[in-house]
Structure formats: structure tokens, C-alpha cells
Amino acid sequence: MLVDGGLAAVLAFLGTASTVATGRLAGIPLALVLAVPVVFRRTYPAAAFAAAVAIGGLQVLIDSRPNPTDLVIVILLYTLAAYTPRRISITGLAICLVGSAAAVGRWMPDQLSLLNSVLVGSIMFAGPALIAWVFGDSMRYRRAYYTGLEDRAARLEAERDAQAQIAAAAERARIARELHDVVAHNVSVMVVQADGASYALLSDPDRARAALAAIASTGRQALTEMRRMLGVLRRDEDGTEPGRAPLPGIGQLGELLEQTRATGLAVSFTVEGVPQPLPGGAALAAYRIVQESLTNTRKHGGPRATAQVTLRYLEDALLLRITDDGQGPAAASDGAGHGLTGMRERVAIYGGWVQAGPRPSGGYQVTARLPLAPASPQEMYADAGGAGAV
């Protein structure tokens, strides 16, 4: 407003000086009043233009000759085109063109022919109005274009932040599954061994010592896996990655079964079909499914429970079936359900599915299907619910 006030003062001075120089002192008030709307042209563009047009119409009506202050009309038409919708600015342009014709007819009715009147009106009045409107409309278009670019950049930034949050949440869920699988399995082994050691402490010291040694070995294994997972989350201070053991897979199932048998749970293992390699992540998922299922059997199946692990290699998938003859579905339920939820999330990532529930003859059964080839996103969503179970 300060800048526009300075512009209004300059226009008022020029109009007043021109009026005084020509001896038409009656036009001084109109020149001063006509400059005032320029001060408010950005804040109230339509109202300022309407006020200036009214004053300009009065100037034509009383036959007050044009002066430099009349440039206010052109400036306000530019502002109208730059700051208001096009339908409003086009109306303002039409008013200016009609006013130009009225001014030519009022001030030069007899001095010029019709053709000359048109030329003079176009050069002195209509031409500047058209140029001002074109520049103003172009400015409005560029301003809208830049505003659209800023909005798009803001949306892209918001989407980037949202994607980062989703990725962080997915990574936290993956780490939570890993922690649950490692901690639940190893702690359950240690609890079983500790119970056995407490019973055999007096009657069979050698067996108690063996159980304590198994507890120590299991604890060290749990610490090793914890360090490996934590190593994924950080780097050493010198910027190098800490050494990490390879992730477990199908090849490590033998060690898992031996560790489970050492706790007193009898487990049989069967492989059907021709073994085929699994993608690294799917092999880890298969290992964790077997690990979680055996942990649940050991926790809920009872002291006399036995388990059977079957791997069936199909043409395009690996079918895992882990069954037990424990105490039934009520006991086999996994409390808050983190284990089964973790299984389903793991398998859904690779386009497979998991089914778990009680067996008609007693006990519990977990069945999972893992594709041997990476799945497309459509297959992942289609198979995650367990459709097409074998």
C-alpha cells in the first residue's frame, strides 16, 4: 500500500500540474480524487476499478479534458486482470472499451472523421486498455501456475514424508517379528531346560549339569542373534558395518530340530519332493514358521506332546505342515497372537499364505505355502488371505 500510495501521489501531481498548465482549474479535484483508488488497488481491485470508472465517467459527462491522472484507469484494469477471475476482468475491459468510445465521441465529435475517430480512440484509449488487460491476465496466469507448482511440491513432500513413515513402520514391524521369534524360541528352550535341571539337581547331577550347559548355549545363541539384528540398525563409529552371521534358512532347520529335541520334545522331520532353492527372505520365513510352531507346541502342547515337520516341494511352491498331538486348540492358542500374526505377515510379503487351527483328532496344525519364485504385488494381496489352500 505504501508503494501504491507513492504511485497515486505521482499521478495526482502530474494531473494537477497538467490541469494548472492548461488553465482548467476545475479539473483539479477530479484529478486528486481519481488517484485515490490506486492506493487500494491490490486490497480491493474490483472496488477500486469501479470507483475509478465512476470518476472517469463523471469526467466525460462534465466534459473535463483528459490529463495524466487518467492513466489510473489503465493501471486499475491491469490490477483487475491480475488479481480477479477472468470473467470479472473481461467485464472491466468491456467497460473501458465502451468508455473509450464515449470519450472520443464526447471530446472530438466534429474534428475527426469516423475512421480517424476510430484510430484515435484505439491509440489513445482502447489500445492501452487492451495492452493492460493482456499483461494483467498473463500475470494472473503465471501466478496461478507458480502457485500450482508450489502446491504440487508441497504434496510431493507430504507424500515423501508419508512414504518414509510407512517404511519406518514396516521396518519396525519386521524387527518386532524377528525379536519375537528369537526371544520366544530361545527363552522357551531355556525355561524347559531350567525346569528339568531343577528336578534333576539332586537325583541326577550329571543331567542337571547338561541342562545348565544347554541353557548357557541357548543364551549365547540368543545373544548372537540379537547382536546380529541390532547390527542391522547401526554402524560402528568408524562407519564400517559390524560382522553379522547369515540369516537362517531351510539349511538350518536341522540345528533347530536338534535344539528342540534337546528340550524333550520329540520331533520328526520329513521332506517330500525334489528340494528347490527358495529366495533368501522366503527361506527365512519358512525357518521362522517352523521355529514359532515348535515353540508354541513346547509351550502349550503338554509334557507328552510330539510334533511332526513336513516340507513338501511342489512345482511352484514349498508347502510346510507342522502338526502336534498336544492338549488341543485352547492350550495351543498363542496368547496375544503375535506369533501367528507374525507368520501371516512374513508369508504375505512373498505371496503365500498361512492357516493354523486345531486338528479334528486333537492337537494343532500350522500349514503354510511359500512360492518358489518372487510374487507380483497382485499375487501377494490375493494369496495373503489363504485363498487356494492345498
DSSP class per residue in 75-129: HHHHHHHHHS-HHHHHHHHHHHHHHHHHHHHHH-SSSS-HHHHHHHHIIIIIHHH
Confidence bin at 382 (pLDDT 50/70/90): very low
Q: What's the pLDDT score for residue 309?
A: 94
Q: pTM of the full predicted structure? A: 0.43
Q: What's the pLDDT score for residue 323?
A: 93
Q: What's the pLDDT score for residue 242?
A: 46
How far is Cα 352 from Cα 142, in angstroms, rounded to an integer? 52
Q: What's the pLDDT score for residue 191?
A: 76
How far is Cα 321 from Cα 138, in angstroms, rounded to an integer? 70
Q: What's the pLDDT score for residue 388?
A: 35
Instruction: Examine the pLDDT at 112 and tell me if it is beyond 60.
Output: no
Q: Which of 92-96, 328-332, 350-354, 359-363 has the lowest mean pLDDT?
A: 328-332
Q: What's the pLDDT score for residue 232?
A: 56
> What mean pLDDT is predicted for residues 179-187?
69
Q: Where are the beta strands (DSSP E) in the chain?
A: 266-272, 306-313, 317-324, 353-358, 364-371
> What mean pLDDT is predicted for residues 230-248?
53
Supply the mean pLDDT for the chain: 77
Between 246 and 196, residue with greater pLDDT: 196
- Which residues lie closer than 8 Å to 95 by C-beta, 6 or more apart? 53
Angle between helical axes of 71-83 and 45-61 (0-180°, round to 10): 150
Range among 63-67, 102-106, 311-315, 372-376 rated most confident: 311-315
Confidence bin at 107 (pLDDT 50/70/90): low
What are all long-range contacts of 277-283, with beta carbons under 8 Å and residues at least 24 apart?
A: 277/372, 278/249, 278/250, 278/318, 278/370, 278/372, 279/350, 279/373, 279/374, 280/247, 280/249, 281/349, 281/350, 282/318, 282/350, 282/352, 282/370, 282/371, 282/372, 283/247, 283/249, 283/250
- Alpha-carbon Rg for the chain in angstroms: 43
Q: Which residues pair with 318 in a beta bridge?
A: 313, 370
Confidence bin at 280 (pLDDT 50/70/90): low
Q: What's the pLDDT score for residue 343?
A: 78
> What mean pLDDT is predicted for residues 365-376?
80
How far is Cα 14 from Cα 69, in angstroms, rounded to an integer? 7
How far is Cα 293 from Cα 364, in angstroms, rounded to an integer? 9
- What percent of the chain is modeled with pLDDT above 70? 75
C-alpha separations of 152 from 65, 85, 143, 161, 242 in Å: 51, 22, 14, 14, 41
What is the phi-psi region of residue 337: left when phi exceeds 0, alpha when psi lies from -120 to 50, beta otherwise? Answer: left
Q: What's the pLDDT score for residue 246?
A: 59
Instruction: Examine the pLDDT at 11 and tell me if it is beyond 70.
Output: yes
Q: What's the pLDDT score for residue 380?
A: 43
C-alpha separations of 204 from 8, 197, 294 in Å: 107, 9, 27
Q: How many residues does the chain have?
A: 390
Q: What's the pLDDT score for residue 230?
A: 63
Predicted confidence (pLDDT) per residue in 287-327, tens digit: 889 988 888 888 888 878 899 999 999 988 999 999 998 87
Q: What's the pLDDT score for residue 333?
A: 44
DSSP 3-state assignment of 363? coil
C-alpha 304: how far from its chain's center? 51
Q: What's the pLDDT score for residue 385?
A: 41
